[in-house]
Each structure stands twice: as structure tokens, then as C-alpha cells.
Amino acid sequence: MLGDSAPAPVSDVWRSLFSDERPVIRANAGFGEFRAESERIQDRFDCRRFAERPGDEFNDRRRHCIIGESGTVRVSIYEPVGHEGLTKKIKFIWLDNEQPNARGDNAPEHADLEDARQAVRTLSAIYLPKHGDQLLDMFDKGGNGIVTELPFTAVVSVVQRPGFRQVSIEIQDGNHEQLAGSEERQGRPGYNKCLFILGNIPPLKGIEIGGDPVPDRSDLYVTYFLSSDRGEQFLCEIHNSGYYRIRVSRQAGQAFQVLAHGNLGDN
């Protein structure tokens, strides 16, 4: 069994496992390059600060423009993993406290409402200029809906939570269908390999197992989180070296124990 000490070189098995066929991306489908769209957001919106989550081998890059005194408004731009340099989508979110401090953030009731409305106006002016009034009306009324002005589509949705609600407007372009599943597509081969290994362990044959196809990434391996319909929890690690290890917790709160390990080239 491989110990936890020695970093291993990236194996050919790893490379082949996580190489996928890229979808065809159309030019001039709406958004400009990630850098250009990011600069436009910085120029056009009243961003108090920026927060960035770097992309990696399995996750999109995200850059957030934080708006409003209480920071409850953000406009985020996504760069799809596997298609670096492109823009996947732009998403506006307002976290509306319907009670003061509903999220433990010291924000008052309906904090940054006017900042949110102005951000919606700016968003529509950039991407759907003929439908600005309609988009703002949908925001004010708090309903779900779709507004299209080719090549862009705005998807408006409201999610209610105890004490607050989340209002979002996601701007998509003509490549949305091809790029929407970028994170899942990168992680899906490893996820399927984990399911294959688990499905061939005799005590688990015929048991329904599923989970998140987007793994957590560390320096040496990725981890998929899976569970069975009987309640077992699984951690499936796939290492850069091609080594895998599966651990199981048979009941909630029970410690994880090694269930199986080996080399992917042997499967």
C-alpha cells in the first residue's frame, strides 16, 4: 500500500483518465475573452472590492465584484476549466435580508437594495439593452423568468431561505450549452472509475451508489464524495501516480476505514 509521504510523478494513467473530448466552441457567440469581460465589469460596476477563486484542474475560475456598503451584491464572471481564456457566464446575486442580520452578517433589512437595482440596470445596459425595463421589473417583483436578446439570455431566479432570499440573474451566451458542464466534464471520468471500482466489490454489487462528479483537489490526489442508498459514505481518492484508495464510513459519525486500494492500470 502506498504511504502518505512520497509525492509521485503524474502517471500516464492519470493523464489518460482526465483527458476528455472538448466540445466545439463557436466564435463570436456573445461574450468576449475572460480578461476583456472582467475589465468591462471592473469599469462599469461600482465594485467596492474584488474576490477571486483561482481555477484549477477541476474547477472554474471565478472573479467576484462586490458591491454595496454591506457587500450583499456581487457580479461574478466565470472562466471555464478546460477552456481557459473564455467566458462561461456572468452572474448577478443579491442576498436580501428580509430580517435584520438574518445571515449573521450585520446587514440591515433589504441592505444595498438601490445598489442592487443599479447593478441590474448596468447588467442589462451591457448585455440586454432593449430589455432593461423588463429585467428590472422582474427583479423588483421577485419572480423567476427568462429574458432573451440574442446572443444573450438572462435567467432570473429567486431562492427563499429562512430570513432572507437570494435573487440571481445569470447571463448566458450562445456557447452556454457547450460550457455549462465544464467542471463536471473534467471530473466525470474519475467519478465513473470510482463507481466502477465500488460496483465490483462483492458486498456492494447491486447497491445504488452516487455522489458529486466534481472532486476536491489536493496537491497529490482528487477526492470524490459518494454514498449508497443504505447509508454508507465513501471517499474515493485518485492519486497523480495512478494509485487509488477507497475509504468507507458505514454509519453516520463512524470513522472512515480503507475498503479498497490499488492501481488504476490494473482495473
Q: Using pLDDT thresholds of 50, 70 and 90, give the confidence band for residue 6.
A: very low
Average pLDDT over residues 131-136: 95
Place of cell 472538448: 22
pLDDT in tens, 21-78: 667 787 788 999 999 999 999 999 999 999 999 888 888 999 999 999 999 999 999 9
Q: What is the pLDDT of residue 20?
A: 58
| Count of alpha carbons within 13 angstroms of residue 117, beta-carbon side | 11
Q: Which of 20, 18, 149, 29 is nearest to 86 (CA)?
A: 29
The 3-state DSSP class for residue 47 equals coil
Q: What is the pLDDT of residue 55?
A: 85
CATH of range 12-19+181-266; options 2.60.40, 1.10.8, 2.30.30, 3.10.450: 3.10.450
User: Is residue 151 reached through a cis peptide bond, with omega within 30 degrees of 0 on the bond before it?
Assistant: yes
Distance CA 164, CA 119 (A): 19
Distance CA 40, CA 221 (A): 36
Place of cell 463557436: 26
What helix, strand, coil percent values describe the chain, rounded to 5? 25, 30, 40
Residue 129: phi and psi, rounded to 5, are: -60, -25
pLDDT in tens, 113-133: 999 999 999 999 999 999 999
DSSP 8-class letter at 234: E
pTM confidence score: 0.80
pLDDT in tens, 142-185: 889 999 999 999 999 999 887 788 999 999 999 999 998 888 88
pLDDT in tens, 100-115: 665 666 777 888 999 9
User: Is pLDDT larger for residue 18 or for residue 79?
Assistant: 79
For the beta sheet containing 89-97, the strands, ordered from the edge strand earlier in sequence to the opposite edge, are 49-53, 61-67, 73-79, 89-97, 164-172, 152-161, 145-149
The amino acid present at 185, given as its one-letter code, is R
Can you read off the three cell numbers belonging to residue 59?
A: 474547477
Distance of CA 32 to the CA centre of its chain: 20
Between 74-83, 84-93, 245-254, the lowest mean confidence (pLDDT) is in 245-254
Beta bridge partners of 4: none
Q: What is the pLDDT of residue 258?
A: 93
Place of cell 477571486: 52
241 with 217: CB under 8 angstroms?
no
Domain ranges of the chain: 12-19+181-266, 34-174
